[in-house]
């Protein structure tokens, strides 16, 4: 969904006090019934990440970590069945998954000294049963499943959604009989930067030439779009010419200002496509008939 900046700001304002929990998502959805849940969740997620980036450092200070850890140890001892970590996270306004990570990291220092690796930490976060402490494992698990912004579960969901939309994109292209090279093929050919799709024969979308398509299963806000532009989209432009970005969960309409330059934003697979149509067995004759 293409949002005006004003609409977007309304939503952002509504997310300011929310926590990354299911209940909060429900509140948001009720407040904006006309927007899709995915869009709202994506906007919230991006906003929450910004909030976390601003505040995370204060939770990382050694003395704060230590005090969190001691408090966890005490409370877990007193109430082994209670979701102690989750409560703590909500109380200090930190993402539960990040709180879990912080405590597990500190716990591993005690168990295996300073030397434990990031890989071990990550694998335990993904698979809490590997954690030698049963109570901590439960707590970590609760944190992970109750966090809709951070943590291995969310990462996994995001990845799956990304894949799903790439598949969706490829299906749409095949449906339209547009042949393309995908990222994997491009890598094997030695391209240094690769969009999701390069069209073998370019198309015109809403009057703009498109050589490549990038699929983003997220909402395009200022920050993420700027980052993508600098790290990806302009690089594609520099190599393949103009292209199309699909933000499946919508974007701030005002960001779609590089059309003439050669970066077109859409929130769905475009319908206004003009092709060279050189095949005799044309797929979508309706376009041609319009001429």
Partner 1 sequence: MAAILDLHLRKVSSAAHLSSKCCSSGQQERDSLPFTECGVTVQKHQFVSFLLNFLREQSSPALAHGTPAKTPNRPRPAAQTGGLSERRACRSAGSATTSRSSSRVQLFSPSSSVSPGAESSDRRHGQRPSPFHDEMGFWDTGSKKPGRGGGHSRSREQLSPPSTLNFNNLEDFPPVGSSPISPLISKPSRRINPTPVSAERPRSKPKTCFTSTPFTKLSSPPMGAEVLDGSMRVGSPLSLQEERELLKREKCYLKQVHNCVYFAVTVLENQFQLVAHLDKGALRLLAENERVASFSPALRDLLIQAQGKSSAKVSFDEMQSDCSANPAIIPFQPDTDNRSNFGNDKAFHTFKKQRDVFYEALREWEDLHNEPGWNFDASLGGRIRGMMNQLTSAGNHSHFARLFLKQLVQMCKGPRMSGAPGEPPDADLLEMLGADGLGRLKRLEERLIQPHGIVGPCPPPSFPGHQEFFRDFIQTASCCQLNQHLQDSLCQQLLQLDEVSILSPSASIKEEDEDGDMEQQDEKQRFSSVLLLARLLAKFLGFISFLPYQTSERPSREIQEASVALRSKVSVPVLDVCAVLDNSVRRRRTILTVPWLVEFLSMLDFVGPLLLCYRTALGTLLLLYRRLQLRRCADVCYLNKLLLVSVLGWLFHDCIPLVDQQLLYFCCPFLSEFRKLLAAFVSGSTAKSGGIIRKITPTSAELKDTPIANRSQQKLQLEQAFFHNQPPSLRRTVEFVAERVGSNSVKHMKATLVSELMDRGEKILRDKLKSLNFNTSKLNESICALLCDAGLEALERATRFCDEKSLEAVRTLLPEETSPTVLRTSESITKRLAAEKACSWLSANITGKLIKDL
Q: How far apart are CA 85 and CA 69, in angstroms?
A: 10
Q: Which of residues 171-210 bind partner 1 (CB under 8 A)?
A: 179, 189-193, 198, 200-204, 206-209
Which one, 140 or 169, has the nearer CB to partner 1?
A: 169
Fill in the per-residue mask, 132 to 171: x = in contact with partner 1 (CB under 8 A), - = not in contact.
----------------------------------------
Give me the long-range contacts of 4-8 (CB less than 8 A, separation at least 24).
4/252, 4/253, 4/254, 5/252, 5/253, 5/254, 8/43, 8/221, 8/252
Does residue 113 bind partner 1 (CB under 8 A)? no
Residue 60: CB minimum distance to partner 1, A: 31
Q: How far apart are CA 44 and CA 19, in angstroms?
A: 9
Residue 162: CB minimum distance to partner 1, A: 24
**Measuring CA to CA, how many Å separate 29 from each of 35, 137, 224?**
8, 32, 22
3-state secondary structure of 84: helix
Does residue 239 bind partner 1 (CB under 8 A)? yes
Q: How far apart are CA 254 and CA 201, in angstroms?
A: 29
Which one, 8 or 233, has the nearer CB to partner 1?
A: 233
Which one, 141 or 212, has the nearer CB to partner 1?
A: 212
The window from 17-25, 63-71, 158-166, 234-242 that contacts partner 1 (CB under 8 A) reads 234-242
Q: Which of 32, 234, 283, 284 binds partner 1 (CB under 8 A)?
A: 234
Residue 60 tokens, joined: 């990382």
Q: CB 109: neighbour CB atoms within 10 A? A: 14
Fill in the per-residue mask, 241 to 280: x = in contact with partner 1 (CB under 8 A), - = not in contact.
xx----------------xxxx-----------xxx-xx-
């Amino acid at each position: 969904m293409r949002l005006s900046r004003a609409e977007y700001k309304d939503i952002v304002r509504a997310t300011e006090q929310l926590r990354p929990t299911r209940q909060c998502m429900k509140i948001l959805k009720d407040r904006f019934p006309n927007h899709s849940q995915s869009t709202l969740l994506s906007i919230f997620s991006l906003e929450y990440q910004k909030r976390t980036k601003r505040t995370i450092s204060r939770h990382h200070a050694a003395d704060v970590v230590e005090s969190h850890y001691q408090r966890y140890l005490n409370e877990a001892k007193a109430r082994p069945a209670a979701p102690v970590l989750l409560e703590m996270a909500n109380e200090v306004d930190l993402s539960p998954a990040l709180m879990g990570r912080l405590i597990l990291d500190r716990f591993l220092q005690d168990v295996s000294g300073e030397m434990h690796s990031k890989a071990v930490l990550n694998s335990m976060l993904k698979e809490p049963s590997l954690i030698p402490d049963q109570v901590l494992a439960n707590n970590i698990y609760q944190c992970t499943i109750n966090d809709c912004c951070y943590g291995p579960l969310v990462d996994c969901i995001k990845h799956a959604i990304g894949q799903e939309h790439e598949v969706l994109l490829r299906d749409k292209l095949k449906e339209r009989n547009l042949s393309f090279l995908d990222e994997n093929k491009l890598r094997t050919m030695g391209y240094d930067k690769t969009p999701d799709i390069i069209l073998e024969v370019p198309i015109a979308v809403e009057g703009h030439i498109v050589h490549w398509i990038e699929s983003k299963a997220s909402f395009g806000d200022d920050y993420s779009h700027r980052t993508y532009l600098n790290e990806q989209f302009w690089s594609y432009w520099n190599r393949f010419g103009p292209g199309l970005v699909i933000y499946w969960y919508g974007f701030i309409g005002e960001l779609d200002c590089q059309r003439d330059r050669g970066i077109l934003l859409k929130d769905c697979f475009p319908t206004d496509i003009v092709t060279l149509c050189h095949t005799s067995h044309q797929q979508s004759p309706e376009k041609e008939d319009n001429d």
